Structure 1
Amino acid sequence: MTPQGAGWLPGGFRMGSHSHPGGQLVYAASGVFATTTEFGTWVAPADRVTWTPPGFEHSHRFYGRTDTRILAVPFEECGALARQPCVFAVSPLSRAGILALTGEKERSAEAARRVRAVVLDELREVPGEPLHLPEPRDDRLRAVTELLHEDPGREETLAGLGRAAGASERTLSRLFHADLGMSFQRWRTVLRIHHALFRLAEGESVTDTAIACGWSNPSAFIGAFTAVVGQTPGRYQAGLRGRGE
């Protein structure tokens, strides 16, 4: 059975690799968490929800104190959402539904089904968020991405990383598009945004986060962060504090 419930989880808490016979929505009412599968990592900042379809092996890690809501979706209802894991923004209506279904109030199976149908219908109407970081299958590409995972702030060009990994810039550029569906620059930006979200959730300043994640100045970081997350890092961090962080 797919678990369902609510609770505060501490920063650094991990749920090891597992799968469920049904689908699962995990919502961060505050805080940040990452869901990882063989296809990559999806990061959900506050007011986002991750969707994991039935049967997908996945794990979770939580950053900062996270108000976590886990909603089980019966197998027969999973056709309403994507067949691949993804992250959705949460509307006020879907948020209310998730909070209601994971709260303490007891509901009949039919009442829960009706509320769940509203949540799924709301999520079906919104596009997935650009917070997915795909992981490569090619060994040459994996050698490069592992270097960047170890230090997202590395400033080397793709050519320089290629020399360290034993592959040419041209080959790696082609592999990023063919294997990961995005350019090297885009992949590195998403990686850095992931790490920025984690650092901000743990209380690091905007300036220190920008430097640690490889931006030359806070203004460049603020622009990149806002383009992906939809709000400035300062406003995002203030929202975390306002929700109990």
Structure 2
Amino acid sequence: MASEKKSVVVFSAHSGDFVWRAGGAIATAAQRGDDVHVICLSFGERGESQGLWRQEGMTMEKVLQKRREEATNAAEILGASTDFLDLGDYPLHVDDEAFNRVVDLLRAYQPHTILTHVANDPYNRDHNMAHETLLRARMVAQAMGHQTENPPIGAPQVLMFEPHQPEMCGFSVDLLLDITEVFDTKRRAMECMGAQSHLIEYYTDLAVRRGVQAVRNGGPKSITHAEAHARLFPVVGRELV
């Protein structure tokens, strides 16, 4: 029997985060036939566009345009839609209007699963802001008394994708996602992100290391690439797995 089509939301602080940290998860879900939506709070134009700012004659307008193009192209390759809220970065600030927009998007997309950042990244507080905003918006989007055009959402699982320095963020892996079949797709998406091209090889190597760990933790030997994620809420089941 065909599996039920699901809705997946990826909640990204900056326009590169969803590619590096969840590109395999996005491509896997899209390949399965799920609807995948990326909500991107910022283009990372100030703090995460070093490759652009080093170019002569660069302006904020040019950076914003390039970052939008990069993220849009990457999302299309992965199979996801994109919503850009353009809230600025370093620091990221989510005002009431933006927060209500997030709630509306969650209700419109009715996600079964949400992927986002860890709660505490000491190096990048924008990631913390994204995590807290997502949890608050998830709470409000569930409230029957918060009446909007779309109905309340259920209780979607939230998975935190791997941060750049996991040990410093208290990140503990409980899902090694096999992305072997879609890694070439993730790699092509990463290659769209010219403003941070130095990260391509880093996240390629990381996927290989996580693939080795996946095999050592009982996965089939065919796994060559994986992504690490951590569930925020308990998994409900009838078997000890």
Alignment TM-score, normalising by the size of structure 1: 0.29
Whose radius of gyration is greater, 1 or 2? 1
Alignment TM-score, normalising by the size of structure 2: 0.29
Bigger proportion of residues as strand: 1
Higher relative contact order structure (alpha carbons within 8 Å, sequence separation ≥ 6): 2
